[in-house]
Chain A
Amino acid sequence: QSVLTQPPSVSGAPGQRVTISCTGSSSNIGAGYEVHWYQQLPGTAPKLLIYTNTNRPSGVPDRISGSKSGTSASLVISGLQAEDEADYYCQSYDSNLSGYVFGSGTKVTVL
């Protein structure tokens, strides 16, 4: 059972915008710890998508953005493309567990 909760799935048509939420608590996101996001294409290793809440590594398009507020964070994919079909995970730190934690994961489907 993940301490960071994500919707199991979201979907959208090409060109649409989808939002993935990551809900935590006062011992992780709500304590001020940063949130990072990863994309995992089928059969491959995860790839860093957003770091420190809002920052994109080189090569990640600006149609992908992240935000954080209170005990939650969000990943927004605008202008949805077929290549965005993947699993997405948020990551933070939990002071009760004294370790890094991942969200439960969200599968994005492009209709």
Chain B
Amino acid sequence: EVQLVESGGGLVKPGGSLRLSCAASDITFSSYSINWVRQAPGKGLEWVSSISSSGTYIYYTDSVKGRFTISRDFAKTSVYLQMNSLRADDTAVYYCARGSSGSGIVYFDYWGQGALVTVSS
């Protein structure tokens, strides 16, 4: 069974930084993209960032470009989201999710339990 476990969430002041980790139990970790999806309190889902299986291709939603950096460590079967210059509207539960695809666009077939990030003074 694939398991994804996020860690690193917490309370941070506006302008501060935080690094989220997503640890995967699956030995086929290197075969899949890993994605971050967030959910602000009482709101819907928002895709944040993706990193391809090889780590070569990286994508971000516009609102986090230049502030967030995604990376992956194959030896540790982990993916990280470095979040800098945090703003109040970054407050959300951040989920990491495995990306799979058949003949089309990626779908997120396994999700972690989520990590709460609160940006407040």
Contacts and interface: CB of A to CB of B under 8 A. Distances in A.
A99 B104 contact: no
Interface string A46-75: 111001100101000000000000000000
Given A99-B47, A102-B46, A46 B108 contact: yes
Contacts of B104: 33-34, 52
Contacts of A46: 37, 45, 95, 97, 108, 111
A64 B44 CA distance: 22
Interface string A86-109: 000101110001111111110000
Contacts of A104: 44
Instruction: Choose among B47, B107, B112 the residue with the greatest number of A CB atoms under 10 Å from its CB.
Output: B107
A45 B111 contact: yes
Contact of A100 (B44, B47, B100, B113): B47
A45 B47 contact: no
Nearest to A34: B104
**Chain B facing A: main interface SS:** strand
Interface residues of A, number: 27
Contacts of B50: 100
Interface of B: 35, 37, 44-47, 50, 59-62, 95, 97, 100, 102-109, 111-114
Contact of A36 (B46, B60, B107): B107
Interface of A: 2, 33-34, 36, 38, 40, 45-48, 51-52, 55, 57, 89, 91-93, 97-105
Contact of A51 (B37, B45, B107, B112): B107
Contacts of B61: 97, 99
A38 B37 CA distance: 13
Contacts of B107: 34, 36, 48, 51-52, 91
Contact of B44 (A45, A47, A102): A102
B103 A52 contact: yes
A93 B105 contact: yes
B105 A92 contact: yes
Contacts of A36: 105, 107-108
Contacts of B46: 102
